[in-house]
Amino acid sequence: MRWFGWSALSALALSGCDLGVEDERVGGIDNIRLINAGDDPANWITHGGTYSEQRFSPLDQVNRDNVGELGLAWFADMDTARGQEATPLVMDGKLYVTSAWSKVFAFDAATGEPLWSYDPQVPGETGVKACCDVVNRGLAAWGENLFLGTLDGRLIALDRDTGEVAWEKVTVDQSQSYTVTGAPRVIDGKVLIGNGGAEFGVRGYIAAYDALDGEELWRFYTVPGEPDEKDPEYLKAAAETWNGDFWKLGGGGTVWDSMAYDPELDLLYIGVGNGSPWNRAYRSPGGGDNLYLSSIVAIRPETGEYVWHYQTTPGETWDYTATQHIVLADIEIDGRERQVLMQAPKNGFFYVLDRATGEFISAEPYIPLNWATGVDDDGRPIENPETRIDQTGEPALVMPGPLGGHNWHPMAYHPGENLVYIPAFEAAMLYVPQANWKPDPARGFNIGFDMGAGDLPPDLGFRQEVGATVKGRLLAWDPVNQEARWTVEHPGAWNGGLLATGGGLVFQGTQEASFNAYDASNGERLWSFDAQTGVVAPPIAYTVNGEQYVAVLAGWGGALALASDGGIIAKDGAVRNISRLLVFKLGSTAQLPPAPELAKAPLDPPPSRADAATIEVGRAAYARYCSVCHAPGAVGSTVLPDLRRSGALENRMAWQQIVHDGALSGNGMASFEGSLSPEQIEAIRAYVIKRANEDKAMEAELAKQRVARR
Ligand code: HEC
C-alpha cells in the first residue's frame, strides 16, 4: 500500500541524587509499587513508566549541561532482523526486553551480561496475520513474574529470575487472524491484554486474566456481535449505530496498544482501533457511527464494566484508530485544575478530555489534514464530505492516510514544561473503493479499498516528488493552548518513540539511524549517536548503583518500513535493520562494530514476456496479498526481500514452492494456497518481472544522480 497520494497535498523534578537506595529494593511487584512507580525512577516497572503513561523519568543526572558526555555503555545484538518496538522494563538492576517474534531477553542492567532468554516459538506462518510486522512492544510485571503476549495470541507468565514459564494461556481464537503485539498491563493482580487483526475480519476485545494462574476473569468486546438478548447494555447501544449484517465481517475495533489507568478514579482507559473492513460502505451499509470504533473507552478494571466513551472518528473509514498512546496528567485549563486524558490518534487531532467523565475539552489538528475542518463544541468532527469515500464511490486523496498523523510510537509528557512530545507523521493516501470486494479473512488485506490503485509510475522525478511529501517531525505540543511550541523537522518520516526527563531532555531515535537528545524547552539538538539502523522504539531511563542509564532498542521496521520504500528514494538514504539494544551512560566510550556495507546488486530481471491481461491479474493479486510486506508496486520493502531482486524471479518452480507451497513459511513467508491459485501466483511473478524491468532504467538514473551529488 502507499501511504501517500499522487501529488503533494497543498495546505493542507524530583532530584536524582539519592536514588542509589532504590536500586537495592528487591521483591515482588505489587499494587503499591505500581501506583507509586513515579516515585521510584531507578526502576521502570510498567510499560509507560507509570500508570499515567507519561514516559517521563524524573532522573536528572544526565541533563542539558552534560548530555554531550553521554556514551555507549553496552549493547546487545538481537537474533531477529525485523521491527523492534519494545519498551524495556528495569527492576532491581536487571533489564528485560522483548524483540521481534515475541522473544524475551534478560540482562544485567549495568554491565549487559545476558542472564536468560526465552523464545515462545511462534510459528513462522503467523507472520501473515500481522498487518504491520512481527513486532512486540513489551512486558508487564507482577509479583515475581513477567507477562508476555505472543504474536500467535498467547499470554505467558515467566519467572523473572529464570525465564521459566509459570503458566501459558491462549487468549484468542487461533483459527482467526488475531495477533498480539502490545504490552500487557497489570492492575491489582489482573493481567490485561488486547489483540490486533482488524485488517483481517476479527472482532476486537480486551480481557483480564488472573496473574496467578491465567484464568480469564472478564472480556470486554469493543464492537457488537450478532445481536443477542443477553448482550450488556453498552453493546446493545453500540448495535444501534451499525447497519446490515455487520457481525459477519468481524467489525474490528481491536485494542492492540494503548492503555492507561487512574488508580484514584479506578478507571482503565483503552484505545480502540479501526473498522474491519476499513470501507464503511461494506462494513455497515447505510452508514452509522459504528461504536466503539476509533474511541477511547473507560472501564472498571475489576469487572470490565463500561463507564464512558469518547469517539474520535464516528463512522471511521480511513483506518483512523484511536489506539495511539494515551497520557494522563493534571493540568490547569481556564484557571481550573483538570484531570485530563490526552491522545493524538491517527485522525490528526490532538484531544484533551476530562478523564473522570469523558467530557470533551478541546481538539486541534497537530498535522495538516483534510478529512475534517474542525471539531464542534460537542467534540464531533466536522467532516469534509469530499473525503467520505464510501458514500460518493469516488476515489479521494485524504490526509492523513492510514498510517495517521501519529502511529503507535509513544509520546512523552514533561510536567515541568507542560508539553506533550509527539512523534508526528505526515502522509496522505488515495482511497479507491474496491468494486465487488469479498472478504478473505485468512490472508491479504481485507479493507474494501484497492491497495494497488495508487501505485506510482516508474518515473524517478515523480516518485521523488511524492516521496518528499511524506514527512516526520518531533512536535512539542502545548495541550492547554493546543498549539506547537517548537518543532524539529526530521529528514525521515517514520521516527522513534519518546522519553522526557528531569534533566530537561527529550530522547528520540530516527529513521535516519540516529539516536538524539533535544532540549525539552526549545528542541535544540544537544547530542546524537549513530545507531546504524532506523530506531522506532521508545527509550527509557533508570539507575543502577546511583548511576543513570538511558536504553533504547534499535531496529528498523513496522508498517511503513515493510509497506513502502518510505520516501527513501526521495531522500537518498537507505535504512536497514540491525537489531540491538543500546544502553548509554555518562563518560562511557564503548563502540559498535562497523556497520556492514549496504550494497544492492543492480536490477537484472529476466525479460518481461507476459501479456497485459496476465500482468493485470498479477498486479491486482500482488496489491492485495503481497504489497503489505514487500512494498506497493514491488518497489522494494526496506526490511523484507526486494522481490525484483529475488533469485526465484526467474524460476517458475522456485516461485511456486515459496508462494504456493510455503517453502519459507518458517521464516514468516506463509503459503498462499487457498487464497491464490498457481495461475494467479504465476501472474504475480509476471507482474514483478515487468515492474523490475521498468525500474531497471530508473535505478540507473538514480545512481547517476547520486554520483553527480558527490
Ligand atoms: C506477512 C508478510 C508477507 C507477505 C504478505 C508476503 N510475504 Fe513474501 N516474504 C516474507 C518474508 C518474511 C520473506 C523472507 C523469508 C525468509 O527470510 O526466508 C519473504 C520472502 C519471499 C520470497 C523469497 C524472496 C527471496 O529471498 O528470494 C518470495 C518470492 C516472496 N516472499 C513472494 C511473495 C509473494 C508473491 C507474496 C504475495 C502473494 C508475498 N511474498 C507475501 C513475508 C511476506
pLDDT at position 24 over 50 = no
Contacts of 637 (CB under 8 A, 6+ apart): 561, 562, 563, 564, 565, 629, 630, 631
pLDDT at 452: 86
Give 4's pLDDT tier (boundaries 50, 70, 90).
very low
Protein residue with least CA distance to atom 9, ligand 1: 669
Contacts of 612 (CB under 8 A, 6+ apart): none
pLDDT at 700: 83
Output the nine-digit C-alpha cell for 671: 503459503
pLDDT at 552: 98
62 and 586 Cβ atoms separated by less than 8 Å = yes
From CA 538, how far away is CA 412, in angstroms rounded? 9
From CA 647, how far away is CA 605, in angstroms rounded? 9
From CA 590, how far away is CA 190, in angstroms rounded? 41
pLDDT at 39: 96
Kindly list the distances between the CA atom of residue 216 and the CA atoms of 158, 207, 213, 232, in Å, as whole numbers in the listed order. 18, 7, 9, 18
Kindly list the distances between the CA atom of residue 20 and the CA atoms of 61, 71, 626, in Å, as whole numbers in the listed order. 12, 21, 52
From CA 410, how far away is CA 422, in angstroms rounded? 8
625 CB near ligand 1 (under 6 Å)? yes
pLDDT at 702: 81
pLDDT in tens, 656-673: 999 999 999 999 999 999
- Of 14-28, 397-411, 680-694, least confident by mean pLDDT is 14-28
Contacts of 173 (CB under 8 A, 6+ apart): none
Output the nine-digit C-alpha cell for 13: 523534578
- Of 201-210, 307-316, 639-648, least confident by mean pLDDT is 639-648
Give 236's pLDDT tier (boundaries 50, 70, 90).
very high
Q: How far is ligand 1, taken at its centre, from the CA of residue 62, in Å?
A: 44
Q: How far is ligand 1, taken at its centre, from the CA of residue 444, in Å?
A: 13
> In 10 A of CB 530, how many CB atoms?
11
pLDDT at position 314 over 80 = yes
Active site residue 319: yes
pLDDT at position 21 over 70 = no
pLDDT at 674: 95
pLDDT at 140: 98
- Annotated catalytic residue: which of 152, 257, 289, 319? 319
Looking up cell 540482562 gives 107
pLDDT at 307: 98
Output the nine-digit C-alpha cell for 326: 494515551
pLDDT at position 18 over 70 = no
pLDDT at 23: 40
Give, for ligand 1, the residue of 200, 657, 664 to mutate: max count of ligand atoms closer than 8 Å to Cβ.
Answer: 664
Average pLDDT over residues 520-537: 97
Protein residue with least CA distance to atom 36, ligand 1: 626
pLDDT at 566: 52
pLDDT in tens, 64-105: 999 999 999 999 999 999 999 999 999 999 999 999 999 999
From CA 466, how far away is CA 453, in angstroms rounded? 15
Kindly list the distances between the CA atom of residue 187 and the CA atoms of 46, 127, 170, in Å, as whole numbers in the listed order. 11, 30, 20
pLDDT at 27: 63
What's the mean per-residue pLDDT of the chain? 93
pLDDT at 477: 98
pLDDT at 7: 31
Q: How far is ligand 1, taken at its centre, from the CA of residue 419, in Å?
A: 42
pLDDT in tens, 345-387: 999 999 999 999 999 999 999 999 999 999 999 999 999 999 9
pLDDT at 297: 98
pLDDT at 94: 98
Protein residue with least CA distance to atom 30, ligand 1: 659
415 preceded by a cis bond (ω within 30 of 0): no
Which phi and psi angles does 673 have, rounded to 5°?
A: -60, 135
Q: How far is ligand 1, taken at its centre, from the CA of residue 642, in Å?
A: 9
Handedness of CA 270, 274, 280, 283 (dihedral sign): negative
pLDDT at position 226 over 60 = yes
**Within 13 A of 393's CA, how many CA atoms are on the CB side?**
3
Output the nine-digit C-alpha cell for 236: 446493545
pLDDT at position 268 over 90 = yes
pLDDT at 295: 98
pLDDT in tens, 548-586: 999 999 999 999 988 776 555 544 456 889 999 999 999
552 and 70 Cβ atoms separated by less than 8 Å = no
